[in-house]
Amino acid sequence: MNEPMHPSLAVGERDEETFADSELCEPVRNRGRSLFAIARSVQAMHAREIPLSRPLLGRLLLESGQMETLLDEYGARQNQHWSRFRALTASLKNFARIGLALAYVQRRLPTYRLLPVEGVFRLATGEQLRLLSGALATIAGALLEEGLAVGIDVSGVAPSPEDFGERLPPGRLARDRSDRIAGDTVTTVTHLATEFLNLAAEGDLLRAAARVRPADYASCFPDPVSEERLRQLTFRFHNLQSLYDTHVAGTSIESFDAELPILRGHASVIYHLLDMATDLAHYYERHASPHTADAVLRERPVVDCDATMATLFAYAMAFSSEYLAGGQRLCQKILYRYAESGRLDVPVPSYRGFHVRPSNLVARIVAHYGSSVYMELDGKRFDAGSPLELFRANEAINARKRRWLASEIARVHPDCGGEQGPEAVAAAVFAIVHRLAGEGKILLYRQPLEFSGQLGHREGSVLENSVAEIAQLQATGQLDIRTDLTVTFVGDKRVLADVEVLACHGYGEDAFGNNVVLPKALAYLRR
């Protein structure tokens, strides 16, 4: 017989003996000697306006992480006596991670060869490091105070005697290794550029956030901004950077194409900025948000929430958006140079040909890749990147439809060439339209049809009257002529592949012009 679970225990929690709050003081004091000393160092360096070095930030991250692990092992987060101390430890670790990322970006900026953007990124990064130093000093001081409050004697703790200076020689080692031999690097480059463009299409989160007023920062959580969404985007840019380093870095194609390292620099700096943004969003959602944060720090805040949100929106996300836009333009240039040309025959959109929706969708595919693609029909070329150009092709499409229609009318009404009276002509036209509709040659959008007042009164044969009346019904949107007409797209194979997918899904609409959900491969068109 199973024993009943203790009502105070959560599912999966072990039935362990509890001990007094004060008994945790000694393990924390022993584990935290280095942490408390480094916290004093942070305070002292900030007071003397000494910038925090990467070695110090790295040690602070290590020690605070180890302390957080110890506290979590004993359930400090759910303990009233220790919860604030644990929250401050987590905050110290969080901001140390952000500081390391900022210091890394500042150090590597000269090697990234970034395209110019709005604002001076180097100066903005230096200012963020200065602000972060103040935030870390404030959190460190609060942690030491809370240590005294929980029963840990930190009054005599002095700054760490370690030298956290970072005295590094200028310059870099010579690049004197031979280029490595890789596989199909060209294919990889086009894949990288295409993936960057896909990520740029999903960067509406960053573009929107960059335009948010400070007073509205908080209202962006949890939609469109959240730790989860930022972490997912960060992960994909990290994958992009990793793919480049595996397949392109150190190859001959990288040596010969000066724009590829620029692409790598953009992917890297966006990754690091998004990594910071993720940590900042985590801090807000966990410790500051009125909806999701633990009351431990929300009710007695340590870090200026407005400054934190400004770093998230006006620095991390705003510059991510700027470098994303620059990288997007760069990738379109790269794809234009590396593009492999091809030809694609696809059917004309069944509903009214290349009207507004299909023309716009095709043009957006072309714009997404930044390629040059044209459409061929009856010996004429139309710029596939221009909706108006594609729309103009309907003249040729409708002319071909009418020529085909004339042959179909002659088939179903062989005696349509002679002159007849108005009533006979009207009856013949009426019969021809419904015969062709029944055979699926024309598609009726309205029933009953509203024939024009000219029916039976035009000059000419039944054939001429039928063609004219059907053209009138087509122009008024009551029907359309169904044919097996095709057009040919010529240009970048990646564009052609997406156009083929679009055509297979009716150019985004069914035979009656109703919206059709596009597949995942064309998700960027929905944005």
Q: Using one digit for the tens of pLDDT, what is the confidence trace for 58-72? A: 999 999 999 999 999
Rg over CA atoms, the chain = 34
Q: Which option is the CATH number for 184-338: 1.10.3470, 3.40.50, 3.30.70, 1.20.120? A: 1.20.120
Dump pLDDT digits (tens) for 250-307: 888 888 899 999 999 999 999 999 999 999 999 999 999 999 999 999 988 999 999 9
Judged by phi (left if over 0) then psi (alpha if -120 to 50, else beta), residue 223 lies in beta
Distances (CA, A) of 288 to 214, 220, 452: 16, 14, 69
Amino acid occupying residue 255: S
Q: Which two tokens stand for residue 141?
A: 């001081």
In the predicted structure, residue 189 carries a pLDDT above the cut 60: yes
- What mean pLDDT do residues 465-482 have? 84
Question: Comparing 119-133, 352-366, 408-422, 438-452, which segment has the lowest mean pLDDT?
Answer: 408-422
> What CA–CA distance (Å, rounded) separates 229 from 282?
11
pLDDT of residue 10: 47
Sign of CA dihedral 481, 486, 491, 495: positive
Crossing angle for the helix pair 33-47 and 121-150, nearest 10 degrees?
130
- The stretches of 202-258 forming alpha helices (DSSP H) are 204-210, 227-247, 252-256
Residue 54: CB partners within 8 Å, gap ≥ 6?
Answer: 100, 103, 104, 107, 166
CA 284 to CA 308: how far, in whole Å? 8
Q: Domain map of the chain by residue range?
A: 20-159, 184-338, 341-527
What is the pLDDT, as a whole number, of residue 511?
Answer: 79
| Average pLDDT along the chain | 89
* For residues 124-135, average pLDDT: 95
In a 3-state reduction of DSSP, which class is residue 485?
A: coil
- Predicted confidence at residue 15, as pLDDT, reads 55
Confidence band, pLDDT 50/70/90 cuts, at residue 315: very high
Listed residue (453, 458, 475) closest to 398, CA to CA:
475
pTM of the model: 0.77
Rounded (to 5) percent helix, strand, coil in the chain:
60, 5, 30
Residue 75 pLDDT > 90: yes
Single-letter amino acid code for the residue at 126:
G
Q: What is the mean pLDDT of residues 201-215?
A: 86
> What pLDDT is recorded for position 405?
82
Q: Alpha helix (H) ranges present in 158-226? A: 185-201, 204-210
Of the pLDDT bands very low, low, confident and very high (cuts 50, 70, 90), residue 527 is low
CB 235 within 8 A of CB 199: no
Q: With 50 as the cut, is the pLDDT of residue 495 above it?
A: yes
Neighbours of 355 (CB within 10 A): 17
Report DSSP state, residue 3: P
